[in-house]
Structure 1
Amino acid sequence: MFNPTNFPKSTLVSVNGVELEVFEAGRRNAGKPIVLCHGWPEHAFSWRHQMPALAAAGYHVIVPNQRGYGNSSRPAEVTDYDIAHLSGDLIALLDHYGYEDATFVGHDWGAMVVWGLTLLHPNRVDKVINLSLPYQERGEKPWIEFMEEILGGDFYFVHFNRQPGVADAVLEENTSRFLRNLYRKNEPLGEPAPGMAMINLANAETPLGEPLLSDNELAVFVSAFETSGFTGGINWYRNLDRNWRLLADVNPIIQQPTLMIYGDRDAVSKSESLKEFVPNVDVVNLDCGHWIQQEKPEETNQAILKWLEQQGAV
């Protein structure tokens, strides 16, 4: 198991009107940047297994806690968490280090940000590696409106938007239990319980499946969210329809070489139209759930490094 004391110390970097808490590995490899973008409710620490492997392969590994997370800034306005701001932070981070472009890696919501960043700033993205969340096609209806029609008001994306503050408070009252119950693997398949899934997790006495993290690892996440709360991260969800509008006029096709890594037991659906929007994509499937890079760290590292080598990048 990973010892959290081995994780690098962070620095605070002022970018784009906020401060980001940034962790680095392989600074000696200046000139070969790779930026790792966490999801929800995660932390830079979720990339702890990838950082040393990528640094050893010759990369300057840059891992921010994005706005709303860890010791990074947590602006009060909901609209300060839209895709323009989130991608703007990453562009400003490249500028801070003096890089024209970089390979960007995203998991879960981090993947959503990397997809959006690549659409909005294609000249700053060299290659894309995304885990769990495939490219989301921009349909005729805003995303939350569409989800509400199909999945109902209790679906957590919809609930976060339609009942602001409700889930935030429940998760904050039960931070340790929520994260313990969320970070699991090998969960049995079953019908979803009625109600809002994240609130159910925060209130559940008994977790399903097996723990993903050691007690020491879980403590890193719990401590971070006890400090930051959940509202900043949830505000990313509250901008989905705004993002839908912000992306209205961009070219929807991603031309960069892309690696998509799925977990075969992930609740997030695979995309049937990925090749249409990301023509230069390679796909890897791993036998795991949602927390791909933490559940299958060696396999994830191998998949990423092998693909980078095929791109002539290692």
Structure 2
Amino acid sequence: MTNTNEFPTSTLISVNEVELEIFEAGDKNKNQPIILCHGWPEHAYSWRHQVAPLVEAGYHVIIPNQRGYGQSSCPKEVTAYDIEHLTNDLVALLDYYNYEDAIFMGHDWGASVVWSMALLHPTRVRKMINLSLPYQVRGEQPWLDFMEEFFGDDYYFVHFNKQPGVADAILDDHASQFMTNLYRKNNPSQGYSDGMQMINLARATATLGEPVMSEQGLDVYISSFKKTGFTPSINWYRNLNRNWDILGEVSPIVHQPTLMVYGEKDIIPPLPNIKDFVPNIDVAALDAGHWIQEERPNELNKLIMEWLENE
């Protein structure tokens, strides 16, 4: 049993031609698996506040550091981080534990993987909970092309693709400063600023707002990225158009029971017509920014448990 101040010890398992670092708790709660998928630039440790409540509720909690993170494999090829590889890792993880399906919960990029898991491997997803990032509608224009047209070359998704290696090196050189500046709450709005947002954060010497986690927690993230560098995780962004192509081969409708949780102070807006694509969805919002698990862990846990119990 783990408590909110502890996190399971990791093990490495071989799946889908990579090794994944897995944090596991409540393994005696067989046939009630829930797989938690972190975002960028996060770590499996971001789910530490959810472990004990889920175990106590009878779930087998499985938290991977996805490829490119922590002690998991960091393939060199950019295409090794496309949505096919990322979801196939989760399918292989289910197979490893002899589970036909599981509940999936994702935050940020992890939510994108969970949405895609429901589309590409619908029989393997029992139900799902996504935080911060709503369903992404696949329009007629590939995602990166759309972002470049509407947000410009300095938008960080676009910059990562058009100037490969530039941001990677700057974030590597300023890992502590970048993470310290990024993981904040109640940050006063600065409006639009010239340059690439993530590079600006990495170089900023004035830290705004309040920290969303302790220095000890932040050190877990910083030490992890100092080991891997930022390129493997940024390579996820370099597959957005490839992902757009892959997802064009399947139905865009998500049929699984779903809970979508927004942060009311997050800059990512809700998707107004989300029920057109996810008809069996419940939507909630918490008084938080983007880092919902860090900012409002108790409120989030209550919301999750009530939904899981009633769904």
TM-score w.r.t. the length of structure 1 is: 0.97
Q: Deviation of residue 269 (structure 1)?
A: 1.4
- What is the identity, as a one-letter code, of the residue corresponding to 1:61? V
Distance, in Å, in 2 between the alignment partners of 1:181 and 1:84 is 32
Distance, in Å, in 1 between the alignment partners of 2:194 and 2:55 is 45
Q: Deviation of residue 272 (structure 1)?
A: 1.2
1:57 equivalent in structure 2: 57
- Displaced runs of 4 or more, over 3 A: none
1:80 equivalent in structure 2: 80
Distance, in Å, in 1 between the alignment partners of 2:5 and 2:137 is 40
1:98 equivalent in structure 2: 98
- What is the identity, as a one-letter code, of the residue corresponding to 1:249? E
1:123 paired to 2:126: no
CA RMSD of aligned residues (A): 1.2
1:152 paired to 2:152: yes
After superposition, residues 228-267 of structure 1 pair within 5 angstroms as 228-267=228-267
1:35 equivalent in structure 2: 35
Distance, in Å, in 1 between the alignment partners of 2:86 and 2:63 is 14
Distance, in Å, in 2 between the alignment partners of 1:305 and 1:192 is 38
1:201 equivalent in structure 2: 201
- What is the identity, as a one-letter code, of the residue corresponding to 1:10? S
1:301 equivalent in structure 2: 301
SS, match of residue 133 in structure 2: coil
Residues 143 and 241, structure 1, Cα contact 8 Å, conserved in 2: yes
SS, match of residue 239 in structure 1: helix
Distance, in Å, in 2 between the alignment partners of 1:102 and 1:295 is 26
- What is the identity, as a one-letter code, of the residue corresponding to 2:145? E
Residues 128 and 258, structure 2, Cα contact 8 Å, conserved in 1: yes
Distance, in Å, in 1 between the alignment partners of 2:15 and 2:184 is 34
How many residues matched?
310
Distance, in Å, in 1 between the alignment partners of 2:112 and 2:233 is 13
Sort the Cα spacing of 1:248 and 1:96 in 2 relative to 1 into closer, same or farther, 3 A: same
- What is the identity, as a one-letter code, of the residue corresponding to 1:163? Q
- What is the identity, as a one-letter code, of the residue corresponding to 1:74? C
- What is the identity, as a one-letter code, of the residue corresponding to 1:76? K
1:217 paired to 2:217: yes
Q: Deviation of residue 55 (structure 1)?
A: 0.6
Q: Deviation of residue 189 (structure 1)?
A: 2.0
1:114 equivalent in structure 2: 114
Q: Deviations over 1:19-60 (max 9, x none)?
A: 000001111111100000000000000000001110110000
SS, match of residue 7 in structure 1: coil
Q: Deviations over 1:178-209 (max 9, x none)?
A: 00000001111231211100000000001110
Q: Deviation of residue 106 (structure 1)?
A: 0.3
Q: Deviation of residue 4 (structure 1)?
A: 9.3
1:173 equivalent in structure 2: 173
SS, match of residue 172 in structure 1: helix
Distance, in Å, in 2 between the alignment partners of 1:4 and 1:158 is 38
- What is the identity, as a one-letter code, of the residue corresponding to 2:58? G
1:270 equivalent in structure 2: 270
Distance, in Å, in 2 between the alignment partners of 1:275 and 1:140 is 20
2:17 equivalent in structure 1: 17
1:134 equivalent in structure 2: 134
Structure 2 residues without counterparts, runs of 5 or longer:
none
- What is the identity, as a one-letter code, of the residue corresponding to 2:259? L
2:285 equivalent in structure 1: 285
Distance, in Å, in 1 between the alignment partners of 2:21 and 2:263 is 28
- What is the identity, as a one-letter code, of the residue corresponding to 2:249? D
Residues 188 and 209, structure 1, Cα contact 8 Å, conserved in 2: yes
Q: Deviation of residue 235 (structure 1)?
A: 0.5
Distance, in Å, in 1 between the alignment partners of 2:270 and 2:192 is 19
The percent identity for this pair of structures is 62
Q: Deviations over 1:263-305 (max 9, x none)?
A: 0000111101211000000001000100001110001111110
- What is the identity, as a one-letter code, of the residue corresponding to 1:278? V
Residues 4 and 216, structure 1, Cα contact 8 Å, conserved in 2: no
Residues 83 and 243, structure 1, Cα contact 8 Å, conserved in 2: yes
Structure 1 residues without counterparts, runs of 5 or longer:
none
- What is the identity, as a one-letter code, of the residue corresponding to 2:269? S
SS, match of residue 200 in structure 1: helix
Distance, in Å, in 1 between the alignment partners of 2:273 and 2:145 is 21
